[in-house]
A and B are shown apart, each in its own frame.
Chain A
Amino acid sequence: MSRFAPIPPPAVNIKGFDQNYLAGFAKPIDDYVFKSQPGLSETVVEAISHYKTEPPWMRQFRKTALKIFATKPTPTWGGDLSAIDYDRISYYLRPTDRQEQRWQDVPKDIKDTFERLGIPQAERKVLAGVKAQYDSEVVYGSIKKNLAQKGVIFLGMDEGLRKHPDLVKHYFGKLIPPADNKFAALNSAVWSGGSFVYVPKGVEVKLPLQAYFRINAPNAGQFERTLIIADEGSKVHYVEGCTAPAYSSQSLHSAVVEIFIKKGARVQYTTVQNWYKTVYNLVTKRAWVEEEGEMIWTDFNMGSRLTMKYPSFLLAGKGARGETLSMALAGAGQHQDAGSKAIHLASHTTSTIISKSISKGGGRTSYRGLVSVSPTAKDVKSKVVCDALILDSKSRSDTYPTNRILNSDVTLEHEATVSKVGEEQLFYLMSRGLTEAEASKMIVSGFVAPLIKKLPLEYAVEMNRLIDLEMEGSVG
């Protein structure tokens, strides 16, 4: 989505829907080719696997994961998950039969939705390739020829499994096994869609690879699965952006993202999460970083009812680096429980985690993080900074960092501050002729500016616009 795209007119006035939410429109779709019955059972899992004509090992993987899901307790330490009713969720649907290659072949209904999100414009301008995920399947995909020539693979996960079964089998579920947590197990059992990226040795992908996810059926769970492999000395920036249309019933989004970074490679993974405010966003993201490799998570959470997401990196090789830039904005009824985990397994590794959160209108933001240094990891440096801004007295902000250091050759710093929009700052700006609302907006923009600078241009612009939109009508 790009600022350069025309801003769509406000959605039709439907009672109870947030008119400020630009992406909050739902397209009526009744002709889903295949829609599994709501509810979770071995039959459903079998059906998904059969429908996708998967190899036997994947079918077995799904069935094992389903058993693990059933035995794992629901976590109680984060947000409130008690309202999720797993029996009311459809675990698989695909809007069209074929994988579309050309824009004009994409069904009109779906095209309209993308049109309003501005995808084609964005693509024409800067994108290297677009995989737009409409519900559970990649419908439209393209990749610039020169990338393909260099041997870069950028496919939907299902397509990746079909075309590169050995590569997928070697890495799939190795970093985040189904038994990792309840939602990783759920994803492993019913996953569909997501991206598969392989960057060969020494190849630098200059333009960001983008995937666009979107939920469009009520109670449709989206369980995408992404696997990124960056071979020695390669570089890639992967961007995912999320918006979901307005629904009054709850949806569940539970993704798994696994990233393998070989010697000297660098991966940046950027997320702009703007699910509608009824969506549960429970995501497991992890990167394995080898010698001199670098992982950067840029994680922006604006939407959803509850997000629980802690992108992590395992620094497994000498001199590996990890960085997380996390931003969260929680409005009325929202809880953003986000953070990051830095696990230092090797010597001379460094990590930086910077988190900025804003809560307003009764929203709650929590930073939850971990820095862990193993006994054999010498000369480790880690820095964690969490800043929180509370805009009114109804809102809440928490910080729960854990630092576990098992040897002495470590430099660790952690700092956190919580504050409100300063009276003096407001007074100064208003004395220069700004209204209170404009002044608050400006202070908030300044607060998040250091993180937004790290985004690709069109996302930075979109982010600023989203923040402006969210800030409207809220005065600090």
Chain B
Amino acid sequence: MTTFNVKRNQHQRIILKKSGHYLINLIGAGASVEILAALSAKSDQTYDLTITTHHQAPHTTSTTLIKAVAQDNATVNLTGTIKVAKKAKNTTAFLTENILLASPTAKANAIPNLEIRTDEVKCSHAATIGKVDEDQLFYLMSRGLSKKKSAQLIIDGFLQPVIERIKNSFATAQDKSESIITERHYA
């Protein structure tokens, strides 16, 4: 398990690209964290990503955005937990998990959890699991692209918002923590 501690009034961006168990502790008042991940699993790969964001101090903020594509026989397992301790008043926490299943045999498990022990909070999470949109595919193919190319464009477009945010975060980066995402998407 990898642990990050975010201190008082510190802002941190954490970019994850590997399977693993991550614990992010917001231990100082006013701490904020942005957690980003764009994952692409192929062939028989399995991605297991478990992220626990623990708000332990008041006025802390966390935003988590994970987008994952599962192709071929790949499996994506995402578990995101937001914990808010009793003393962490005025917490804001958002968690989004989007999974695109790009092949009929791809599999996904999405478990977004919330454990809230106080009021004065704004917490929400959302999870979606879907496939490559038939209409979008049809449109691209009607413009002369092959099915494979069209699907790839849709997949790239799906991951784009996270990749943009990651790029921006490097442009303005003060603190780099984890490694960069897969080379192909970053190129």
A412: which of B86, B104, B128 is its contact (CB, 8 Å)? B128
Per-position binary interface string of chain A over residues 32-76, scored 1 when its CB falls under 8 Å from any chain B CB and 0 otherwise = 000000000000000000000000000000000000000000000
Question: Is B122 an interface residue when CB atoms closer than 8 A count as contact?
Answer: yes
A399/B112 in contact, CB under 8 A: yes
A397/B116 in contact, CB under 8 A: yes
The A305-362 residues at the B interface (CB cut-off 8 A) are: none
Can you list 30 A-B pairs with a CB-CB distance of less than 8 A?
A375-B105, A388-B114, A390-B116, A390-B118, A390-B121, A393-B89, A396-B117, A398-B113, A399-B113, A405-B101, A405-B107, A405-B110, A405-B129, A407-B101, A407-B104, A407-B105, A407-B106, A408-B101, A409-B104, A409-B131, A413-B126, A413-B127, A413-B128, A416-B114, A416-B125, A418-B122, A419-B122, A420-B119, A420-B120, A420-B121
Chain B residue at minimum C-beta to C-beta distance from A395: B119
A404 neighbours in B (Cβ, 8 Å): 109
Report the separation of the CA atoms of residues A400 and B117 in the bound assembly, to the nearest whole angstrom: 14
Report the separation of the CA atoms of residues A392 and B131 in the bound assembly, to the nearest whole angstrom: 41
Interface-centre pick from A392, A397, A420 (highest chain B CB count, 10 A)? A397
Report the separation of the CA atoms of residues A393 and B116 in the bound assembly, to the nearest whole angstrom: 10
Interface-centre pick from B99, B112, B122, B132 (highest chain A CB count, 10 A)? B112
A403/B89 in contact, CB under 8 A: no
B125 neighbours in A (Cβ, 8 Å): 399, 414-416
B116: which of A388, A409, A411, A414 is its contact (CB, 8 Å)? A388
A408/B104 in contact, CB under 8 A: yes
Report the separation of the CA atoms of residues A405 and B120 in the bound assembly, to the nearest whole angstrom: 34
B112/A414 in contact, CB under 8 A: yes
Q: How many A-B residue pairs have CB under 8 A?
A: 112
A416/B112 in contact, CB under 8 A: yes
B112 neighbours in A (Cβ, 8 Å): 399, 401, 414, 416
Report the separation of the CA atoms of residues A400 and B83 in the bound assembly, to the nearest whole angstrom: 12
Report the separation of the CA atoms of residues A399 and B86 in the bound assembly, to the nearest whole angstrom: 17
Interface residues of A, Cβ cutoff 8 Å to B: 375, 388, 390-393, 395-420, 476
Question: How would you classify the secondary structure of chain A's contact residues: helix, strand, loop or mixed?
Answer: strand
Report the separation of the CA atoms of residues A399 and B103 in the bound assembly, to the nearest whole angstrom: 30
Report the separation of the CA atoms of residues A231 and B76 in the bound assembly, to the nearest whole angstrom: 40
Q: How far is the CB of B92 from chain A (nearest CB, A)?
A: 11
A412 neighbours in B (Cβ, 8 Å): 110, 127-130
State whether A410 and B130 are in contact (beta carbons under 8 Å apart), knowing that A393-B119, A416-B114 are contacts in the complex: yes
Chain B residue at minimum C-beta to C-beta distance from A423: B120
A396/B103 in contact, CB under 8 A: no
A403/B110 in contact, CB under 8 A: yes
State whether A393 and B120 are in contact (beta carbons under 8 Å apart), knowing that A399-B113, A410-B130 are contacts in the complex: yes
